[in-house]
Amino acid sequence: MAIDEVLLSRARSAILRFYRWNEPAISFGYFVTFAEASIAAGDRAMVRRWTGGGIVPHGADLTYSIIIPASDPVFAESSKSIYEKVHRALSCALITEIEKGEFVPVAALYERRNETESTVVDCRYNDCFASPVHADVMVDGRKVAGAAQRKTRGGLLHQGSIQRGNLSEEFRRIFSQLLANQFITSAIDLDILSMAEELGATKYAADAWLHRR
């Protein structure tokens, strides 16, 4: 969480970052109460996100973040438009990993529901993944990818979770190519990591932040 916030404050170009979790955990949105999150967490580690959204389980998923600085022309687009474009690219990339099953964005399910006047959204996941929104990604009626955003004067942070643990490097490459015509693979600078370590200790690991609501 701290790395994403620091990257947003320092980014000069768009960034796509993939990461995993060292242990089972949950992250919960800025507006979720600690009481709600602690019930869902059980004995798992907890962290409050800077972005919105609900309660997301981590451990077996692939987590990613996209940082778009205010200098990027995409920043002028609406948050909803960016969300939809990211998930459209994610859907296309995931098709290469999924051999069978109905694979559609939630928007298509809503359209079908309006046509058939029947309920087609299956809410078998707990918390955030029980409530898919317009552009989330579904496989066989189950939400497998969702995200939350925060937009500031300096840029936009999009944090997403893909609830599949066996995604290949090829998936990451295709997803990256669908988001940008050109991209460079690189490690995070040490000064960014140093700033994030300090921010993590003073903010994200602090009880004042965790119990903010």
Q: What is the pLDDT of residue 146?
A: 87
Q: What is the pLDDT of residue 78?
A: 93
3-class secondary structure for the chain? CHHHHHHHHHCCCCEEEEECCCCCEEEECCCCCHHHHHHHHCCCEEEECCCCCCEEEECCCEEEEEEEECCCHHHHCCHHHHHHHHHHHHHHHHHCCCCCCCEEEHHHHHHHHHHHCCCCCCCCCCHHHHCCCCCCEEECCEEEEEEEEEECCCEEEEEEEECCCCCCHHHHHHHHHHHCCCCCCCCCCHHHHHHHHHHHHHHHCCHHHHCCC
Tell me the domain boundaries of the chain. 2-183
Q: What is the pLDDT of residue 132?
A: 47
Q: What is the pLDDT of residue 94?
A: 85
Q: What is the pLDDT of residue 135?
A: 65
Of 3.30.930.10, 3.20.20.60, 3.30.70.270, 3.40.50.720, the CATH number of 2-183 is 3.30.930.10
**pLDDT tens for each residue of the chain, 213 residues long:** 999 999 999 999 999 999 999 999 999 999 999 999 999 999 999 999 999 989 999 998 999 999 999 999 999 999 989 998 998 888 888 887 765 444 444 444 444 444 443 323 332 223 444 444 556 777 777 778 889 999 999 999 999 999 887 888 889 999 999 998 888 888 999 999 999 999 999 999 999 999 998
Task: Name the residue with tokens 């098709």.
Answer: 95
Q: What is the pLDDT of residue 84?
A: 87
Residue among 58, 51, 81, 61 nearest 147 (CA): 51
Q: Distance (Å, rounded) from C-alpha 109 to C-alpha 96?
A: 21
How many residues are there in the chain? 213
Q: What are phi and psi of 206, to 5 degrees?
A: -85, 140
Contact 14, 67 (CB under 8 A): yes
